[in-house]
A and B are shown apart, each in its own frame.
Chain A
Amino acid sequence: MTSGVAAMSTGSSNGAGRARDAIDDRGVAPWRRYAYNSTVMGDSVMSGSQWTRRDVARGLGFGVASAAAATWPGGARAAEAKSITVLNWQGYGTDLAAGVQHFKSATGIEVKHDYYNSEPEMLTKLRTNPGAYDVVLVNSARDAQAKADELIDPVDLGKLPNAAGLAPAFKTNPNIVIDGQTYGVPWVWGMNAIAVRTGKGFKVDSYAVFEEAAFAGRGALFDDAVTEIAVAALMLGQNINDPKDMKAIAARLKSFKRDVKLVWSSEDEWNKAFAAGAFDVSVFWSGAVTRAVNLHQQPVTFVVPKEGAVGWLDNFCIPATSTGKAAGLQFIDYMVSPQFYAEWAKSGAPASANAAAMAALPESDLNRQIHKPEYLDKLQFMGALPEDRRQAFNDLWEEVKAFYAQS
């Protein structure tokens, strides 16, 4: 059952982040977080969504892509405007060999890469290597921080022909539009909501399913403070990034106790337990549901309930110190194009923020079926969290877990 993912992960070669994924897929739930967080240390808050995306990206034949990027001939000597450097997670779309080659043949611009293994590392690299990067992939929750540190420039979406297809929910996302100016080009996105076992006639349209007697001992939650507090905040109509009534959130989460069988912490753990029939409903990642169905043939579907879902969005930014901003924008435009997305989707890409790119997928594509455009209005996006609030989230979640564990 897990062989598919395991085989994929072996392709995701170097870098701490990738090593983490490889370990994790052999079923090492708790340890993954060591490997991962040791690179994060202080202030990453959106671990859940990062995993999703990088887990998705794992399937992309990195071996080829990264080898191509690493051995790019004569890159350093190339003329300034004829080569750009992209800062991204390894194996996350921009270094797809076919894409890099197509872009070079179309524009004559070579694409080189540098990689980061955590979001703080990305910010550090931008700070300490001025002028080194022309395009950087940023989790939109980090845009405000990058902007505050004057690391990124505003972007005029009107100059990018392919940005026309971007859904308004992304273009005007509060993570991206800061002080009336747009700082990123939305690229790919995903959701955290409910995975439901199919074939048993379950009708689920609310997170209140975790309070229903019919699902006693049949539920699973994600062991992530930010996600679970967001779920309760959605139920209570609060802002997921700044909930006003933490007491109500704690009470709501505690009311799940009867139904919660498992608090899972890795996709692999989830897959194993779900395959063994340990639970029927779970807080889960949209991209992971497509993998559970496509790679593991699990009877599962993804539901965005009436309260909405937790969204994440990755966007491209132009580093303020870039020396090839025009070429960088050209590359970003290609990255958001339906042509590139079609190429990437062959090997399992996350959902594109470009409606035109999603529409170009076959009707039967699960990614397209799950990431419906109408869901966009029901999403609250994970945003930046100040240190004390993050700590409060973690304390609350720890308390709720201890409550679940009481006999």
Chain B
Amino acid sequence: MSAPSTPEGRRARPSIASPEGRRARPAIATAALLLPAYAWLLVAVFLPLGAMLFFSFLKTNPFGSKAPLVFTGAHYLAFVTRPYLVDVAITSLRLGFWTTGICAAIGLPTALAIARATRGRVRQTVFLLAILPFWTNGLVRIFSWTMLLRQGGILDDLVHLVLPGVGSVGLLYSFPAIVVGLVHAYLPYMILTCYLAVAGIDDALIDAARSLGARLPTVFATVILPLALPGLVSGSILIFVPVIGSFMEPRILGGRIGVTMGTVIEDQFTQAYNWPLGSALSFTMLGIVLAIFALFSSVLRGRLAP
């Protein structure tokens, strides 16, 4: 995330031009380069978000009725007027923490292994395998998990092959099943971000630690982990946010258990046609997520400083 120090050097290069031109042209060029991104952000992010924010203050759905719009902030009190939503939100947060934690526990060692123990074609192959889930359709992934996890499914058969006589193993429609599906979907983010952080660690640092007598666990805890932290944090953010809003995995893998903020919000848009409530719930969740990040960032600030 830390920008390399080159922009200053680059900017100085077209110095043949007049002093004014020197300043103006790069500014125009920068603006031109940024324009597509910001135009896209404006259209694709802020307009829909703005519309949703507007909806969230309406009393009822504005579609198909000629009644004048009525504004209210009542939907933002949903957690007070519908106390069951608190439990639902806690479920979502638990999903978020479990998924992020497991992704970190798997992703960091994977990234370390790829960055430090492989090279050339092997590295490419291992890397490819790690990010393969990105290239498969989400629903295909989830439905293949239903076949694996269900009672009498593939996992069940395998367990019985190894340990005949054990009771049947049916994970489908349970909390762990949802976590499994989510970890599968989001693990590549963690591997990628951790890989970027870990690949930048100078071998000399580790050699120095070893030559000073540190054993491997100490090297990991005092050298590698702190240096990998930026990768872990950005990976966690990339995973945590979509996971607490996820609805496909909970719905399909969770069965009765699969009620999360994601599915509640989805229901408001697709079943109840209560867009205002759905929008308000979305923004409330956004607020909760930002609060959690604020909490963590104050804890991590000292460690993440470049």
Contacts and interface: CB of A to CB of B under 8 A. Distances in A.
Q: Do A and B bind each other?
A: yes
Nearest to B84: A402
A37 B270 contact: yes
B87 A402 contact: yes
A47 B271 contact: yes
A261 B251 contact: no
A399 B84 contact: yes
B228 interface: no
Contacts of B274: 391, 394
A34 B270 contact: yes
Contact of B153 (A28, A41, A276, A399): A276
A225 to B, nearest CB: 7
A19 to B, nearest CB: 16
Nearest to B60: A387
A42 B255 contact: no
A41 B64 contact: yes
Contact of A37 (B153, B173, B273): B273
B146 interface: yes
B272 interface: yes
Interface string B148-179: 00111100000000000000000011010000
A272 interface: yes
B63 A41 contact: yes
Contacts of A43: 64-65, 273
Interface string B258-286: 11000110110111111000000000000
A302 interface: no
A199 interface: no
Contacts of A401: 259, 263
B91 interface: yes
B53 interface: no
A403 B259 CA distance: 9
A224 interface: yes
A156 to B, nearest CB: 32
A105 interface: no
A174 interface: no
Contact of B150 (A276, A394, A403): A276
Contact of A265 (B60, B63, B87, B251): B251
**Which of A225, A272, A402 gathers the greatest number of chain B CB atoms within 10 Å?**
A402
Nearest to A42: B64
B61 A398 contact: no
A110 B254 CA distance: 52
Contacts of B63: 41-42
A398 B59 CA distance: 19
**Which of B84, B151, B270, B274 gathers the greatest number of chain A CB atoms within 10 Å?**
B270
Interface string B190-231: 000000000000000000000000000000000000000000
A403 to B, nearest CB: 7
A405 B251 contact: no
A272 B255 contact: no
B252 interface: yes
A187 interface: no
Interface string A378-407: 000000000100110011001101111111
A276 B264 CA distance: 27
Interface string B3-22: 00000000000000000000
B82 A399 contact: yes
B257 interface: yes
Nearest to A120: B64
A120 to B, nearest CB: 6
B116 to A, nearest CB: 41
B152 A405 contact: no
Contacts of B269: 37
Interface in A253-285: 257, 260-263, 265, 269, 272, 276-278
Contacts of A402: 84-85, 87-88, 259, 264
Contact of A405 (B153, B252, B256, B267): B256
Contacts of B61: 41-42
Contacts of B270: 30, 33-34, 36-37
Nearest to A403: B84
A223 B247 CA distance: 14
Contact of B173 (A120, A261, A398): A261
Contact of B267 (A28, A41, A394): A394
B139 interface: yes
The 4 A-B pairs at the shortest CB distance, nearest first, are namely A42-B64, A394-B272, A405-B259, A41-B63
Given A398-B267, A401-B259, A402-B84, 12 more contacts: A30-B248, A33-B270, A36-B270, A37-B270, A37-B273, A120-B64, A260-B256, A262-B173, A278-B150, A278-B255, A394-B267, A405-B257
20 contacts: A30-B247, A30-B251, A33-B270, A37-B270, A42-B63, A43-B65, A43-B273, A262-B173, A262-B255, A272-B146, A276-B146, A278-B150, A278-B255, A387-B60, A394-B267, A398-B267, A402-B259, A404-B259, A405-B87, A405-B258
